[in-house]
């Protein structure tokens, strides 16, 4: 792996972690498309993945630092009073409860999913399927609910939807936004809650996978890890900022078109024999 490849993958991770286009799918497809050797190095993939996720985590925490501080304070007050009394407390508990399904399912099934469900052809199918579902739900759903309508039950439901995204190609943010739009939450609020809900999941996954990094170290790729981390953090911050502004006035249709275009490229590469359907 070169520094250039690390930066490309860092930008890919940061840009696609929060856009509804599947970061896990892209991190498989980009090396696959360019025939980079990292795609076949399982140990390096796992440890480099930690650096990329920590980068996007930092980008998200910096952007939402005021929100996170406010919700953390509200959650602590709620625990002390043993009651949920304010909207900030309801949102804080929605984020806590919504984290549980993805954390549990991720801890139990992450390795089997990575080993058996990461084939490029399957990722292409997921790109098509969940891209169309996102567009279809968004086009037919009202926008009569905002962040202030999200409570514990809604948070749990959106967290259960988020857990589906362990399959590469689905998109954690995409499926969470789709579920939020299904129940009438407006686009910007759906995206904002999705991003906030992703933060503890990314942090937990990074800490869990960080055990591999402690055991193996940087494997001689310290500079590559650093630049992957930095590019992931910067691109993640920029995408959050840009996407929240974009969704105030636009639909998710452009993301469906993008997902269909990527899937078409994958299928053409496989059909022409340029790349294998599996890794």
Q: Is residue 232 part of a domain?
A: yes
Contact 56, 239 (CB under 8 A): no
Which residues lie closer than 8 Å to 143 by C-beta, 6 or more apart? 184, 185, 186, 187
For residues 56 and 230, give the distance between their C-alpha atoms in angstroms, rounded to a whole number. 9
Does residue 191 lie in a domain region?
yes
How far is CA 129 from each of CA 32, 175, 177, 192, 256, rounded to the nearest angstrom?
21, 11, 15, 23, 10
Interior angle at CA 266, CA 32 and CA 260, nearest 5: 130
In a domain, 278, yes or no: no
Task: Indicate the DSSP class of residue 169.
Answer: T
Residue 142: pLDDT above 70?
yes
Identify whether the C-beta of residue 38 lies closer than 8 Å to the C-beta of residue 45: yes
Using 50, 70 and 90 to split pLDDT, how confident is the model at 103? confident
Instruction: Give the tens place of pLDDT for each residue, 215-263.
Output: 666 667 788 889 999 999 999 999 999 999 999 999 999 999 999 999 9
- The predicted structure's pLDDT at residue 206: 72
pLDDT at 271 over 90: yes
Q: Answer whether residue 104 shows pLDDT above 90.
A: no
Q: Which residue has the tokens 């981390």?
A: 229
CB 119 within 8 A of CB 278: yes
pLDDT the model gives residue 115: 67
Answer whether residue 121 is part of any domain.
Answer: yes
Say what the pLDDT of residue 238 is. Answer: 96
Q: Is the dihedral of CA 170, 190, 199, 62 positive or negative?
A: positive
Does residue 30 have a pLDDT over 90? yes
Domain that holds residue 183: 3-271
Asked whether residue 182 is assigned to any structural domain, the reply reads yes
C-alpha dist (Å) from residue 123 to 21, 23, 53, 173, 278: 11, 11, 20, 16, 10
Instruction: Tell me which DSSP letter residue 274 carries.
Output: S
- Residue 129 is assigned to a structural domain of this protein: yes
Backbone angles phi, psi at 237, to 5 degrees: -60, -45
Q: Is residue 277 included in any domain, yes or no?
A: no
Beta-ladder partners of 95? none
- Flag whether pLDDT at 201 surpasses 90: no
SS3 145: strand
Whether residue 211 is predicted with pLDDT greater than 70 in this model: the reply is no
Helix intervals (H) in the chain: 3-18, 23-34, 42-63, 65-81, 87-116, 120-140, 152-163, 172-182, 187-216, 222-246, 253-271
Lowest mean pLDDT among 43-47, 59-63, 89-93, 120-124: 43-47
pLDDT at 36: 85
The pLDDT of residue 181 is 96
Total count of domains within the chain? 1
pTM: 0.89
Q: Which DSSP symbol is given to 185?
A: B
Mean pLDDT of 86-93: 94
Q: Within a 10 A sphere around the Cβ of 104, how many other Cβ atoms?
A: 12
Has residue 251 been placed in a domain? yes
Share of the chain above pLDDT 70, in %: 90
Percent above pLDDT 90 for the chain: 67
Please give the Cα distance from 209 to 130 (Å, whole number).
27
Q: What is the mean pLDDT of the chain?
A: 89
Q: Is the pLDDT of residue 117 over 70?
A: yes
Residue 109: the pLDDT is 72
């Amino acid at each position: 792996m070169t520094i250039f490849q690390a930066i490309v993958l860092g930008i890919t991770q940061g840009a696609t972690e929060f856009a509804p286009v599947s970061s896990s799918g892209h991190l498989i497809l980009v090396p696959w498309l360019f025939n980079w050797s990292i795609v076949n190095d399982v140990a390096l993939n796992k440890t480099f993945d930690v650096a990329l996720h920590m980068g996007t985590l930092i980008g998200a925490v910096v952007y939402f630092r005021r929100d996170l501080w406010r919700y953390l304070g509200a959650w602590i007050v709620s625990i002390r009073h043993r009651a949920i009394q304010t909207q900030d407390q309801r949102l804080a508990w929605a984020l806590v409860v919504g984290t549980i399904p993805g954390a549990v399912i991720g801890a139990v099934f992450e390795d089997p999913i990575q080993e058996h469900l990461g084939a490029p052809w399957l990722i292409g199918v997921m790109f098509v399927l969940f891209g169309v579902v996102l567009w279809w739900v968004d086009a037919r759903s009202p926008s009569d609910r905002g962040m202030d309508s999200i409570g514990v039950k809604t948070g749990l439901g959106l967290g259960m939807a988020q857990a589906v995204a362990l399959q590469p190609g689905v998109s954690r943010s995409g499926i969470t936004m789709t579920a939020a739009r299904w129940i009438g939450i407006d686009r910007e609020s759906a995206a904002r809650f999705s991003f906030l809900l992703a933060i503890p999941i990314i942090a937990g996954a990074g800490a869990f996978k960080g055990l591999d990094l402690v055991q193996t170290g940087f494997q001689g790729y310290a500079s590559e890890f650093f630049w992957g981390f930095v590019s992931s953090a910067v691109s993640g911050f920029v995408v959050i900022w840009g996407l929240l502004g974009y969704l105030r006035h636009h639909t998710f249709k452009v993301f469906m078109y993008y997902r269909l275009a990527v899937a078409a490229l994958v299928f053409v590469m496989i059909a022409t024999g340029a790349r294998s359907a599996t890794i």
